[in-house]
Each structure stands twice: as structure tokens, then as C-alpha cells.
Chains A and B, each alone.
Chain A
């Protein structure tokens, strides 16, 4: 039982290659997050303000995203679209399409949740002050919505990063595939490389996702403590609102 393959990590440019692979995964998730945030806000507004048909389309979209494993969507987009439409979408673009499709729906739902959690009186007061709809959203509703959304959106980022490990399955050479290549190229000299290399990948993902999710938790805590609603009202109400919020948070945290 020699070495456990830690040495393999530092042979040649192996470690840089692993980091390079990690960057491939990160790049895909960051681009997808950026797209998801923009489209998700639009979708959230539509889900609250749209007519019945629009709402129905959004619901179906959300339900598809909730039910279908991302891996299935990846295969459908990467292999399926070429078959049906003749579009030849490269692997990385396919991944970005799938993650944006998924992220937009999730983000839209977060925006919707945040929008309807704004008490009606805020809308009514703004209107009573004679604000046009645009101004009302710009100065009254959106600032409050964003504050409620940010921690949850940050969670979405870590979920995206974690899910990008699947892109290996459509042939993208990301960190896991690089890990396999390294194990394979060194099988003769260090048969135990799998331990060191997969262990390193495990820790790499943790080192990236953990700080981000701590940040989300810290923001959530700080802003919910500051939330004027929860301080002013009596205990019973307080409990109810926190209960509802808990459920919502979990729902979104869990579905990853």
C-alpha cells in the first residue's frame, strides 16, 4: 500500500490540469448563472403579472425542470437536437443551454416567491402615492425583492457548480475526466492513484462551494434579522412567517 497517489498529483502539470478542468466546469456554471439571473427575473415577473396562459407555460416549464434529471436534459439537448432538428450544438453550449433552462426556471420561481412575499400594502401605498407601475417596481418592490432573493440565488450558484460535474457525460473534459486521464496514465507506476486524485477532486469542489454557501447563509441570517416585519409583530405571527419562509427556502435549497 504505497503512496495512495498523492505524488501523482504533482507529477508534470497534473495539478494544473485538474485546476484547468475545474475551471471548465466553473466557466459553464458562471455563464449559466448569469443568463439564468437575467432571464429568471423576467420569468418571475411574468409568473406574477402574466395572464393565465403565460403562467401555465411557466408552471409547466418549472415542473419539467423539477422532475427531469439534469443529466437527461443534457443528453436530450446534446444528442437529441441533432437527431430531430439537425442542429449541431457543441458540448459546452449544450451544457450552458441546459443549465440556463434549469436555472431560469428556478430563478423565476425564486423571484416569484420573493415578489408575492412583499406585503400587498407596499403596492397599495406606492399606488396611493401616485407612482406609475415602473417607478413602483424600481423604487419600492424590487429593492425588497432582491434582498430576499440574493441568499437563495447564491445557493443556486453552488448547485449549478455541483451539477456541472455531470458534463463529463457528454464528453466535456472537465475535472473528473482529467482525474480519470491522470489515473489512467499513471496506472502502472501508482496503482493507488484513484485515492489521491479523486480525493483531491472532492476537496476542490468543497473548497469552492463551501465559502459560497457560507456567504449565502450569513446574508440570509443578517437580512432576516434586520427584516422589520419580523421585529414588529407579535410572536405568533413571527412564527408563522418564519415557518413559511423555512419551507420555501428548503424547497429551493433541496432541489438541486
Chain B
């Protein structure tokens, strides 16, 4: 019996020591550089798997959508396999900071707060916020939003931060996943859904009985790929890609492949950003204030 006892002691001491060692030895940078990714032969890209038409999985189990189209091109030009990682809105920063993905290409809006946590590459799409609601009770303004009603938002999105900051009295109904939020709206669990306007417009187009009462809310923002803070080699590669791809109007082609069914042609020039060139001045990334 004393043998068991001694062993137990050794085990517990060993466990304690290794715990302390873990605390003491902080890991080096959590991210992988461009060379490390190339060497490993595969890249982990975080995308949505339930946000049609930007990132979703079709009935054959393949990732599809506007973001995914670009991701595929990045992988191709890098010459590595792509390992798509399904992400929720609220996990995006976390996945980058903990090295669980190399790039986030999940409709990630550039904001000042986020730019403190991750590094954004050049933008590839314009976005603002929008609000969609059922046709028979269209929400056209948030100023006199009834107290006994709720607006659906997705946890970790810019719509959530914006409404919490600017309309603190409006009750929010928060979901983790796009699929949950949309089903809840369909089921009539709330008066409206606030999200990126691209997304709410798509929802109204694809689902009968819904209308976008507020097509643009808050500031005009952009959507860009993001990498872990300080992963310069990777962000430089992505930026070079985005600039070079303008030659072949890549993002217009992307739009025509993935988004045109939903939006038609009328949104092509308002949504797409080619070569990272926005109408706003170059330093907008630094001075962006609104969610």
C-alpha cells in the first residue's frame, strides 16, 4: 500500500511542477508566419459555415460563398491545402489570438476596437448596418422602438456593439449562430433583426414576407481579412494578393459567382472593393470610429 501512496505523491508533485512550469514558460508568438504555413502545406482559414451567401456549406458538404471564393484563391496562390474552420461571430478574435486559425475570412468588419486585437488586411467589401423585419410590421426607425419588443442580434457582431452603444434602451435578443438568429426571426420571436446590411438585404430577398425597413445605419464600414496581431509576413502576402487581383477584377468576378443570385447587379459596385481601394482616404483604417 505504501507503494501506491508514494506513487500518488510523485504523480501529484509532478503534476504541480508541470503546472507551474506551464505558467512560467509563456509560449512564443501564437501565430504561424507565411513561411511556416507554406512549410506545413496547409493553412487554417476561419469562415462562417451558416452565413449564406458569404460563407456556408452546400448540400455536398463543400464550403461556398463570397468569403470562401477568396479563401480558395489565397490557398491556391500560396500553394497549400485549405483547412476551413467553422467559426461563430463571437469567436473570431479569439481564434486568431490563440492561433487556432491563420486567417479570418468571415465577413469581419474593420473597427477600431477590433484593430487593437488583430491586424486587418486591405478591405474587399463595403458594409453598413441594416435592420430587417416582417412585412406586416416593418421597423423603419429605431428612435421610438417599442419597449416591450426585442431586436435580434448576433453575439460578437458590429450590430450588437452599435446598438448597445447608441440605443442602450432597446432590448436585444442575442444568438451565437446565424442559423439560429434567422430561424428565430422566421419564427416570429422578435420584431426585427439587425446585422450587416448585406446580410439583412440577402435575407429579405431570399425570404418572402420580410422587408428591410432600415437599409443603412451607423457608419459606412469595410470588411477585410484579419490575421493575428503582428503577423506581418502573412498580412503583407494578403495585401499584395488583393492589390494584384485588381488586375483581373477578381472581386467583381467573385460577386458574379456568389452574390449575384441574391443581390442582382444593382449592388455590385456599391458592395465590391477592388484592390483595397475605398473612396474614403487611405488613413481611414486608423481613424474609423464607429462600430
Contact = CB atoms under 8 A, between A and B. Distances in A.
Q: State yes or no: do A and B touch (Cβ within 8 Å).
A: yes
B12 A57 contact: yes
B52 A185 contact: yes
Nearest to A80: B98
Contact of A54 (B5, B30, B57): B5
A79 B183 CA distance: 28
A82 interface: yes
Interface stretch (B21-29, B112-120, B263-271): B21-29
Given A54-B12, A171-B86, A184-B178, A87 B22 contact: yes
Given A12-B59, A82-B99, A86-B30, A188 B8 contact: no
Interface size class of A (residues with CB under 8 A): 35 or more
B5 A50 contact: yes
Interface stretch (A25-33, A174-182, A200-208): A174-182
Interface stretch (B87-95, B132-140, B278-286): B87-95
B86 A177 contact: yes
Interface string A36-73: 00000000011001110110010000000000000000
Contacts of A54: 5, 8-9, 12
A232 B180 CA distance: 58
B67 to A, nearest CB: 14
Most chain A CB inside 10 Å of its own CB: which residue of B4, B9, B88, B97:
B4
A249 interface: no
Given A50-B4, A51-B5, A184-B179, A83 B59 contact: no
Interface in B40-58: 49-52, 56-58
A147 interface: no
A86 B27 contact: yes
Contacts of B174: none
Nearest to A178: B57
Contact of A171 (B91, B178, B186, B207): B91
A77 to B, nearest CB: 12
B61 interface: yes
A232 B264 CA distance: 82
B217 interface: no
Contacts of B26: 85-86
A191 B186 contact: yes
Interface string A226-247: 0000000000000000000000
A115 interface: no
15 contacts: A13-B60, A14-B59, A49-B4, A57-B12, A82-B30, A88-B27, A88-B99, A171-B86, A171-B91, A180-B50, A184-B179, A185-B58, A187-B182, A187-B206, A194-B183
Q: Which 4 pairs from chain A and chain B are nearest by CB?
A: A86-B27, A12-B59, A180-B179, A82-B98
Given A12-B58, A46-B4, A184-B51, 12 more contacts: A46-B8, A51-B8, A57-B12, A82-B100, A83-B98, A88-B100, A171-B100, A177-B49, A180-B177, A181-B49, A184-B56, A185-B58
